Amino acid sequence: MMQRLLFLVLACGVGLVSASGHQFALDHAPINLRDKASLQRGAQLFANYCQGCHSLQFMRYRRLAEDSGMVDESGNVLTTLVKDNLMFSVDKIGDTMLTAMQADDAKKWFASIPPPDLSLTARKNGADWLYTYLRAFYKDETRPWGVNNAVFDNVAMPHVLVGLQGVQMPVYKENEHGKKVIEKLELQTPGLLPPEEYNKRVADLVNFLVYVSEPGQLTRQQIGVWVVMFLIVMSLLAYFLKRAYWKDVH
């Protein structure tokens, strides 16, 4: 009884509370790495809107093509397709997805904070954060790019997707401490896409970034199923073996 109590106490202690630092509520990002079409759309969005400034220095085009279905029936990468849609410079299919922006220029144009590499952003910030961030830009005349972000205050990034989303305005409220905070954002000027469609596009982009942060995720889980099943069988076998020997003890 004592042992169980002790163990329970220890086990409970392991369930930890983590303080969230965000005032603005994060939306849940619909991630599905099995949706290859979504990954392709996300890759295309990235190449067209993000890669001008942001690199994915650990992601190779070839790997992306293989994992997102840009292959023929024999599994060979459709190199020309990839080059036409995702590669706009002299990169080769085995290269990593770098940005054309030079580091020195980046430092100059962005006040010494160059646009960061995004290979691991999904592991660092989480999918929900990214999904909310890309939809939380709002108009702010006081900022250099004319926009601010409800999730990332005073962000140095312009709202690259403003053409698609449109312009949002913040709605403020007072929180428990009497401080003015953003309650929600409202669309003031519509963009090319209606909000549901924009959300889907952002979901594709975030899906893509989650994939990029760990391309082997799906494989890892798939293999894991087999490994755990095998070990459960081994545990059962080992249990019977143990019992067979211990039957004559006590």
Partner 1 sequence: MSKLLNWVDARFPLTKLWNEHVGQYYTPKNFNFWYYFGSLALFILVSQILTGIWLTMSYNPTEEGAFASVEHIMRDVEWGWLIRYLHAVGASLFFVVIYLHMFRGLLYGSYKAPRELVWLLGMFIYVTLMAEAFFGYLLPWGQMSFWGAKVITELFGAIPVIGEDLVVWIRGDYGVSGATLNRFFALHVIAVPLIIVGLVVLHIMALHEVGSNNPDGIEIKKVKDNNGNPVDGVPFHPYFTVKDFFGLMVFLTIFSLIVFFFPEMGGYFLEHSNFDAANFLVTPEHIAPVWYFTPFYAMLRAVPHEFLGVVTMGAGVAIFFVLPWLDRCPVRSVRYRSNFYKWLLVVFAVTFVGLGVLGTLPVDPMLTVLARIFTAVYFLFFLLMPIYTSFEKTKPVPERVTD
Partner 2 sequence: MSKETVDTQRRKFLAVTTVAASSIGAAFIAVPFVKSWNPSAKAVAAGAPVLADISQLKAGEQMIVEWRRRPVWIVKRTPEAVESLTKVLGELRDPDSQKSDQPEYVKNTHRSLKPEILVLVGICTHLGCSPKYKPEVGSVNDDWQGGFFCPCHGSAFDMAGRVFKGVPAPTNMQVPPYAFLDDTKILIGVNPDDDLSEWKA
- Write out the DSSP string of 141-192: TTSTTSEEESSSTT-S---TTHHHHEEEEEEEEE-TTS-EEEEEEEEEEE-S
String of contacts with partner 1 for each residue 197-226, x by CB under 8 A: ----------------xxxx---xx-xxx-
Provide the 8-state DSSP code for 71. B
Q: Interface residues for partner 2 in 73-112 (CB under 8 A)?
A: 76, 79-80, 83, 92-95
3-state helix, strand, coil in the chain (%, to 5): 45, 15, 40
Q: Which of 72, 141, 245, 247 binds partner 1 (CB under 8 A)?
A: 245
Does residue 5 interact with partner 1 by CB under 8 A? Answer: yes
Distance CA 91, CA 87 (A): 7
184 binds partner 1 (CB under 8 A): no
- The burial of 181, by beta-carbon neighbours within 10 Å (0-12 exposed, 13-18 middle, 19 or more buried), is given as middle
Least distance CB 111 / partner 2 (angstroms): 34
Under rule CB under 8 A, which residues in 220-249 are in contact with partner 2?
230, 233-234, 237-238, 240-241, 244-245, 247-248
Cα-only R_g, the chain: 24
Instruction: For partner 1, give the closer residue by CB, 90 or 225.
Output: 225
Pairwise CA distance, residues 157 & 125, whole Å: 16
Query: Where does this chain bind partner 2 (CB under 8 A)?
Result: 60, 62-63, 76, 79-80, 83, 92-95, 230, 233-234, 237-238, 240-241, 244-245, 247-248
Query: Where does this chain bind partner 1 (CB under 8 A)?
Result: 2-3, 5-6, 9-10, 13-14, 16-19, 21, 57-60, 63, 119-120, 123-126, 213-216, 220-221, 223-225, 227-228, 231-232, 234-235, 237-239, 241-242, 245-246, 249-250
